[in-house]
Amino acid sequence: MQALGFKSKVFLAPMAGITDLPMRRLVASIGGGQMVSEMVAINSVQYKNPKSYRIADVRSEPYPVVVQLLGNEPELFAEVVPLIEEMGAHSIDINMGCPVKKITANNTGSALMKDISLAAKIVESAVKASKLKVSVKFRKGWDNNSVNAVEFAKMCEDKGAAYVTVHGRTRSEFYSGKADWDIIKAVKESVKIPVIGNGDVNSPQKAQEMLAYTGVDAVMVGRAALGNPWMVPNIHQFLETGEELPKPTVQEIKQVLLKHMDELLAYYNEQIGLPVTRKYVCWYCKNLYDAKRFRERYNRIDNYADAVAEINDYFDNIAEFVTGEDSEEVLF
């Protein structure tokens, strides 16, 4: 991936409402990894929507950021891509994999896998309009009756994409079941451009396993990074040196959570940012003692001072990594 200007083989996946500036800044501050923005709708950029402009503007970030674009109009991509360049993008990724209904209902995201002709025009338009590298993120297919990831990857390569990212699930599977690494391997074997594998990479060992099994050039991490900003840097460290980062202590988790909260409030303001912190609190305290009761108390808080006090009180009074009854999976 170094030929494309990337210094890491692990990418933080673009996740709407999650991989915002505060999240990217936090992950980057811990260690290595490649940052990708939340998806940005190209029509919102065209209309100069302030929220979309802020998402797309990555000039303040000292590390390279891939900006992901969402849309289905080739002409509009040609118009918007130069604006994205001006806002500091390292490279551009086109979202053709989002499975969310409100996205696919507009014939964007993974719905474009059902219209390869239109998808080809979009990729070609973006490539011709951009001085930056253009990539495409897509899935195994729309459903198990229309698995076309290999064909889709070849199209992307033919139209000038510099690399592709493939998620080993169909749109109909969303995030359920086991990701199909065989289809990721098949994509890698079908094209000459670099391929990033996405799906079920939730540890350094899994990242190494995907690289070895599929032959991909890099891996992408999504849900495993929720409440665990150490995950991407840890995988980066492991792939580079064979050693993992030290496991964070409960106090270190607390300090990072507080830092994350401050970043969110500074970015969104307290009125918007404080409610946003609730989902992060749920993720950060997963598998810790009495987490359910802590979440219930925290979700009723409506001011910064009480939020900080509640976090300090909880994390200062639990033992190291005591698994609670409401645990779903071990993140650390």
pLDDT of residue 182: 98
pLDDT of residue 48: 85
pLDDT single digits (tens) 234-273: 999 999 999 999 999 999 999 999 999 999 999 999 999 9
pLDDT single digits (tens) 284-311: 998 898 999 999 999 999 999 999 999 9
Domains and CATH numbers, the chain: 2-241 (3.20.20.70), 250-315 (1.10.1200.80)
Question: Average pLDDT of the chain?
Answer: 94
List the catalytic residues: 98
pLDDT at 327 over 50: no
pLDDT single digits (tens) 34-65: 999 999 999 999 888 999 999 999 999 999 99
Calpha distance 49→68 (Å, rounded): 16
Beta strand residue intervals within 163-259, DSSP E: 163-170, 195-198, 218-221
pLDDT of residue 332: 32
Task: Identify whether the C-beta of residue 277 lies closer than 8 Å to the C-beta of residue 303.
Answer: no
pLDDT at 329 over 60: no
What pTM, to 2 d.p., does this model score?
0.93
Q: Express as a percent the part of the chain with pLDDT over 90.
A: 92
Calpha distance 94→277 (Å, rounded): 28
Dihedral angle over CA of 171, 56, 1, 160, nearest 10? 70
pLDDT single digits (tens) 172-224: 999 999 999 999 999 999 999 999 999 999 999 999 999 999 999 999 999 99
Q: Which residues make Cβ contacts (< 8 Å) with residue 280, sequence separation at least 6?
A: 227, 257, 260, 261, 264
Residue 88 backbone class (left: φ over 0; alpha: ψ -120 to 50; beta: rest): left
pLDDT band at 319 (very low <50, low <70, confident <90, very high): low
pLDDT at 330 over 80: no
pLDDT single digits (tens) 76-110: 999 999 999 999 999 999 999 999 999 999 999 99
Element (H, E) at 259: helix 250-268
